[in-house]
Structure 1
Amino acid sequence: MKALRRMMAGLVCAALLFGRAAGEASFDFTDGMPETSETAAPTENPAPTITLSPAFEMTVIRPAAQQHHGAILIYHTHTWEAYRQTDERYQETEKWRTKDERYNVVAVGEALTRSLTALGYTVVHDTTAFEPPKLADAYARSLTMLEQRTASGETYDLYIDLHRDAISSTSTIRRTVNIGGEDAARFMVLVGKGTTGGYHEMPDFAANLHIAELLTDKLEAQCEGLSRDVKVRTGRFNQHIAPRCILIECGTNENTLEEVLCGIPYLAQAIAETLDALEAEAAINNEE
């Protein structure tokens, strides 16, 4: 319970990012996760909820003027990635992993979905478990999902594959930053060049890197150290499927879930500012 109270306090302090003005978002913590695999912003934008355990209700005050438009897809190729055990222990599927969606990256994705919905975005959160039956094939299965959505005509302003990074217990990587007196996990954006694997379809690496750098800058502007440097890899990470595809590492296995959730409202705000910047750039380019 002590750990839970720290988590709630962290979410409250982080939620103040949205400011005191007109408009409210109510976060209701109750047992279980939603059974649906998708969450979309309804037309009247009611107060969003995050579902965790045990029961707890929090109200987030945000300016009504901070309403955005656009569609975002959130999914998790490594769906069962989890965090350091606390007093609220989860049952491990294997080391640092659990299929319990209250404690793995799906819970983080749900929190981000609610924060982005509160900002006005239409968000689809695909909670499909891509890891089973074999972790090594997870990217092939998440690609199938992306291809099916693309074939059905779905398009998004941003595609986010949300992960948890893995580090050793002896790593010198800084785990947290202090935000409003609470410890928040750090984020890292990863983009792939697609130069290994013999792929014919390649990601728009330059465009995705630009998005990653913008997002990193927006996070850093809110709190120095909240973001690690952008990581560039030679793999493809399914980022060829459409424009604006990124992978975000939300904390590491050495972080607690509460530390990650503390930073989620800041991540949502940074995403909104990044999309605003991209829209402004597009408008300038159209005028030229």
Structure 2
Amino acid sequence: MTWKIRRYRRWGNSGYLPVIKLLITAIFFLALLLVGFEVGNRISWNFFTLPKLQTGASEMLQVWRFVGLYSDDWKSILGEVLPVASYFPDYIEDESRGFFVTAMQDITAADLRNPQTFFSSQIAYFNAVPVTAEPEYIPEDEPVPGLPPVEENKEDPVIPRGAGPLVGIYCTHNAESYVPTQGVEKLEGKNGGIFSVAQHLKDTLENKYGIASVLSSTIHDYPDWAKSYANSLVTLQQMKKDYPTIQIFIDVHRDAQIPRASTTAEIGGKQASRIMFIVGSNARLPHPHWQENLAFAKKLSGVMDKMYPGLLKGVRVQDGRYNQHVSPHAILVEMGSTENSLEEAELAAEMLAGVINNNLNSEEI
């Protein structure tokens, strides 16, 4: 018995116990962190409407003002660090994924909310698809009802149109640009390369297919990038009011810092930026008919796969609403990434115009 006691004391004095305690504490903290981010991304009620917390927030506001911070300042700070804090009564769209989630992805390409990326970012074998900025969801291969037959090597017909525009186009992030062509990722306070792509999409729809379209040149992402979607919602609602004939609303974007190999395809002997459809869900804000947007995106993706094999990168469902609640046919399209050239993105826009024309020609959407 004495020998066993001495053995235990020798082991305890060797320094292992403090290390084990520290390891357990770190694991526990990481688990709390992961749970916190998950809850922050899923809870849709207003954390700050609880009476006791509301009182505390009011008292804290006086402190913030004393040190030079005001209501919008502390809301923004809390929204960056704690996702659940971004759900205020006047909240419209939250693009923030949280400071720690964003920092982890920027440094390691691993998403704290998606365990699969822990492996794919570190072990090449698991990385069959290049790591993107956010976890990607691609719907199962399933027949999409109502897809029109697409014949190869046949000129797309021009559809007779009425006087009103059928497509409304805008850019929530106007500054987004293409590095190979413009040398920078963003042109702050200006319409960057992404607006040129949107303009090319409009011109192709009108000049090649006779589809009247509207394009907004309003800057939405400057001076406050965090209010981009709130600003573009105003544009979208005004566009819908001014042009009630619009059937499709398109928010044109480009992805960021994704390897060129995964965002470029050879179509007809030319290099084109690949296209990703983003569909918002009701995970953060009320959006009861988001499945209609998903069905519409899947219909377009089905046509695109037939007309231009390889152009479609996928259809991704994300937690944000992205203003798609205003119409069952509102889509967000990512035209390549920062690594694509403007010419490649504009070529993709021409092909997207052909897909939209085919869809409008097939049936009433």
Please confirm whether the aligned pair reaches a TM-score higher than 0.5, indicating the same fold: yes
Q: Higher relative contact order by CA 8 Å / sep ≥ 6: 1 or 2?
A: 1
User: Amino acid of the residue matched to residue 98 of structure 1?
Assistant: L
CA distance in 1, matches of 2:246, 2:316: 23
Q: Please give the residue correspondences for 1:1-288 in structure 2 after superposition, counting only pairs within 5 Å.
A: 65-69=157-161, 71-86=166-181, 89=182, 92=184, 96-99=185-188, 103-118=192-207, 119-152=209-242, 154-168=244-258, 171=259, 174-196=262-284, 199-200=285-286, 202=287, 204-279=289-364
Instruction: Mark the CA change 1:116 to 1:153 in structure 2 (over 3 Å): closer, same or farther.
Output: closer
CA distance in 2, matches of 1:252, 1:108: 12
For residue 67 of structure 1, report the CA deviation from its aligned partner: 2.4
Range moving further from structure 2, 122-131 or 267-276 = 267-276
**Percent identical residues:** 32
Moved over 6 A (4+): none
CA distance in 2, matches of 1:276, 1:148: 27
> Contact between 2:186 and 2:192, CA under 8 Å: does it hold in 1?
no
Deviations 1:230-283 (A, max 9, x none): 01111100001123111011111111111111222211010111223442xx6x
> Contact between 1:77 and 1:161, CA under 8 Å: does it hold in 2?
yes
TM-score norm. by structure 2 comes to: 0.53
Larger Rg: 2
CA distance in 2, matches of 1:254, 1:218: 26
CA distance in 1, matches of 2:316, 2:160: 28
> Contact between 2:176 and 2:253, CA under 8 Å: does it hold in 1?
yes
SS for the counterpart of 1:258 is helix
For residue 66 of structure 1, report the CA deviation from its aligned partner: 1.7
User: Amino acid of the residue matched to residue 248 of structure 2?
Assistant: L
For residue 180 of structure 1, report the CA deviation from its aligned partner: 2.7
For residue 155 of structure 1, report the CA deviation from its aligned partner: 4.3
CA distance in 1, matches of 2:243, 2:360: 21
User: Amino acid of the residue matched to residue 336 of structure 2?
Assistant: G
Deviations 1:210-236 (A, max 9, x none): 111111122111222101110111110
Instruction: Mark the CA change 1:139 to 1:203 in structure 2 (over 3 Å): closer, same or farther.
Output: farther
User: Amino acid of the residue matched to residue 270 of structure 1?
Assistant: V
Deviations 1:147-190 (A, max 9, x none): 2334456341100001111134xx48622111232211101111
Higher normalized strand content (fraction of residues): 1
SS for the counterpart of 2:317 is strand
Higher normalized helix content (fraction of residues): 2
Deviations 1:118-173 (A, max 9, x none): 211110000111001111110000111222334456341100001111134xx486
User: Amino acid of the residue matched to residue 110 of structure 1?
Assistant: Q
SS for the counterpart of 1:229 is strand
User: Amino acid of the residue matched to residue 76 of structure 1?
Assistant: C
